[in-house]
Amino acid sequence: MKKINVAIIGVGSFTKALVEGVSFYIKNEDETRGLINPLVGDYKVSDINFVAAFDVDERKVGKKLHEAISQGANVTKDITSPVEFEAKVYRGPTADGVVEQMKGSFVKESSESSVDIAKVLKETGADVVLNLVPTGSDEATRMYAEAALDAGCSFINCIPTPLATIESWQKRFQDKGLVLLGDDTKSQLGATMLNRILLEALAMRGIQISKTEQDNIGGNADHFNLLYRKKSKEKTKSEALSSFIDCEEVKPKVTFQYTGKPSGSKRVELRIEGEMFGRTPIKISAVIEDEISINGAGTVVDAIRVAKLLVDRGMQKESEKVCAFLMKSPAKKMADKEAIESFRKIIEKK
């Protein structure tokens, strides 16, 4: 199989987890543990090849990607030493990608001029562009999406900025024979997924849900950014839960806390309350402790491969179906069981 050439926007902790995770499966090509789908079509994780990256931090710009992922505020746990990909980190436009409070500590802006994004994508032969800019970077997201269109690349929007849910954007990519996936990637097994599973189980057993709360606690740059830009993230998480609650007055509550201690570890506390037989109260509490960036990368390797597969097979219009499985805020929502069945029918189809 041909390699899938990927360009990454934003060389943060998520990118570190993704590059090291792909490196692990390149070094251990027959290993399938830890993967949702070992094969997407005929593509393995080891077929992913990083060809370019964009960032604004002087500690990363100009370096090879496998070197840059350990620079700056990147704190996620090491998976393995990264493969030495040819990808270089280019100076991208700052736009609205950095809140003022992050400058100097989390981000030290490069004095270099921004490159021509579309030109770099063409020269490096990128097939897929992965958007990992900080939550709330709406202008930067649209700027990179335009460049991807100009360069003939599919685009995966991993953050909550509305893009793939907008019909006009979908049409522009499909008209060029490309795929737009989004918005806001689900983790492999994150708080939203576990919360959905529990809510679905309660509803299936006739329990009226009266409260659902999710408290996300972490210490990486993303959690610091959410102190100032949490609105869109709260929206996508809440919407991903609302369809399981059969009462308009009950709204999911999602909060974020920054610990102040640099760490890739995240702790999520879930609390659900409801009424069962005889209107008797029932309460559920659950805790997830994980490496948040690694958890997200476990889903993104499927998104990268299916984006390329849909283009290979001329199935660009099926992107809505795969987004229901991969994303918190897809254009077409499905129950989780239906979403994974639909996804697997597409990736297994010859």
- DSSP string over 71-84: STT--PPP-SPPP-
Task: Compute the 3-state secondary structure of the chain and give helix, strand, coil in percent, each to the nearest 5.
Answer: 40, 25, 40
Q: Which residues contact 339 (CB under 8 A, 6 or more apart)?
A: 321, 324, 325
Q: What is the mean pLDDT of residues 332-339?
A: 91
Q: Does the pLDDT at position 232 exceed 90?
A: no
**Mean predicted confidence (pLDDT) in 275-281:** 97
Residue 235, pLDDT > 90, answer no
pTM to 2 decimal places: 0.95
How far is 221 from 293, CA to CA, in rounded Å?
11
Q: Domains (ranges, CATH) in the chain?
A: 4-186+294-348 (3.40.50.720), 191-292 (3.30.360.10)
Find out whether 227 and 297 touch, Cβ atoms under 8 Å: no
d(CA 279, CA 231): 34
Give the per-residue pLDDT at 350: 64
Q: Stretch 193-218: mean pLDDT, rounded? A: 93
Give the closest residue to 58 by CA, choosing from 100, 26, 90.
90
Residue 66 predicted with pLDDT over 70? yes
Share above pLDDT 70 across residues of the chain, in percent, rounded to a whole number: 99
pLDDT for residue 349 is more than 90: no
Angle (CA) 152 154 156, round 5°:
150
CA torsion 63-54-155-309 (nearest 10°) is 0
C-alpha to C-alpha distance for 216 and 179, rounded to whole angstroms: 31
Q: Could you count the other beta carbons within 10 Å of the beta carbon of residue 126?
A: 25
Which residue, chain included where needed, has tokens 């509305």?
A: 162
Q: Which residue has the higher pLDDT, 63 or 350?
A: 63
Three-class SS of residue 219?
strand
Tell me whether strands 263-276 and 280-291 are parallel, antiparallel or unpaired.
Answer: antiparallel
- Give the model's pLDDT for residue 105: 85
pLDDT score recorded for residue 231: 87
pLDDT value for 247: 77
- Other beta carbons within 10 Å of 329: 24
Average pLDDT on 98-122 reads: 95
Q: How many residues does the chain have?
A: 350
- Does residue 292 register a pLDDT over 80? yes
Give the lowest-confidence range in 14-18, 43-47, 167-171, 194-198.
Answer: 194-198
116's tokens: 């021509």
How much is the average pLDDT of 46-59? 98
Alpha-carbon distance of 103 to 96, in angstroms, equals: 12
Report the 10 Å Cβ neighbour count for 252: 22
**Whole-number pLDDT of residue 291:** 96
10 Å Cβ neighbour count for 348? Answer: 11
Using 50, 70 and 90 to split pLDDT, how confident is the model at 209?
very high
Question: Which residue reads 């950014």 in tokens?
Answer: 225
Q: Is the pLDDT of residue 116 over 80?
A: yes
Instruction: Check if the beta carbon of residue 21 is closer than 8 Å to that of residue 298.
Output: yes
Mean pLDDT of the chain: 95
Task: Answer yes or no: is pLDDT of 248 > 90.
Answer: no
pLDDT tens-digit map of 157-192: 999 999 999 999 999 999 999 999 999 999 999 998
Residue 326's Cβ-side half-sphere holds a number of Cα atoms within 13 Å equal to 31
Residue 269 contacts residue 217 (beta carbons within 8 Å):
yes
Does the pLDDT of residue 7 top 90, yes or no?
yes
Token pair for residue 267?
């702790």
Q: Is the pLDDT of residue 236 over 90?
A: no
